[in-house]
Amino acid sequence: MSSNSSDLLQSVIDAHGGREYWDSVLFLAVEFEFSGPALANKGHPGPHDVKIIVDTKTQKVTIAKFGPYYGSWSPERTEVAKIGSPDPLDVRENPRAAFDSHTYESKWDAHNLIYFIGYAFWNYSNFPFHLQSSDIQTSEVDGSTLENGEKWTTLEVVHPDGYPTHTKVQKFDFDAEYRLRRMQYRVDVMKQGPPVWHTCYNHAVSGKFVYPTLRVVSVTVPGKSFFSPFVLNNISVEPIYF
């Protein structure tokens, strides 16, 4: 395992606009529709219209709208309130710890929901540039994967303990243009959830930044059929510069 020296990672960085361009981006304004049966299972049936502002320099996401909620996420703190409510923002410190007592069947409160969408979309939106962090290890997986007649290359990523992401070790598959086509991981906060294939479709470009406009999360559960617990559709990204 090499630390941040992967030729594949550098090719992916270059294909997404390059480091110099990314350093000029302060925030990303992101909108999408969030749906899927897992939301209903967690007590928040969709679809939900989502509008967020993702910080590219620090781990923070401001949620302007997630269904009926607004608030903010950082690894150490979530803030949540209902849109139109006169009540002040409710604050939860150390929000990840609130999942410790959960099981796979546990319902999520609003803080759980904001924590999940916050860390997930901070990682998705800052990809691939955040992988150059000195505490994240990357290496190219030997060989290529044949998908629908295309050869995909794979980057394995090892995050440090406690990093706000789905799980410590993840794999990312890229096509010949170094666009992200699939992510492979588990969702630790789902508690013993099955392995996930998270496929990316219909890429667009905003500024120089390349991103998928459709993300479909798929799993296969023993004794059940292949299904998609989460779908993120009509994704749009608008860079905000210094």
CA dist 144 and 156 (Å) reads 13
66 part of a folded domain:
yes
171 part of a folded domain:
yes
Q: Which domain holds residue 106?
A: 7-241
Task: Specify the pLDDT at position 72.
Answer: 98
1 part of a folded domain:
no
167 part of a folded domain:
yes
How many independent structural domains does the chain possess? Answer: 1
Task: Specify the pLDDT at position 75.
Answer: 98
2 part of a folded domain:
no
Task: Specify the pLDDT at position 193.
Answer: 73
Q: Where are the alpha helices (DSSP H) in the chain?
A: 7-15, 19-23, 37-41, 110-126
131 part of a folded domain:
yes
132 part of a folded domain:
yes
Q: What is the CATH number of the domain that holds 51?
A: 2.50.20
Task: Specify the pLDDT at position 73.
Answer: 98
Indicate the pTM of the whole model. Answer: 0.94
pLDDT in tens, the chain (242 residues): 344 447 999 999 999 999 999 999 999 999 999 999 999 999 999 899 999 999 999 999 999 999 999 999 999 999 999 999 999 999 999 999 999 999 988 999 999 999 999 999 999 999 999 999 999 999 999 988 888 889 999 999 999 999 999 999 999 999 999 999 999 999 999 987 788 999 999 999 999 999 999 999 998 766 665 678 899 999 999 999 98
What does each C-alpha distance from 115 to 48, 59, 63, 240, 241 come to in angstroms? 16, 12, 11, 23, 26
133 part of a folded domain:
yes
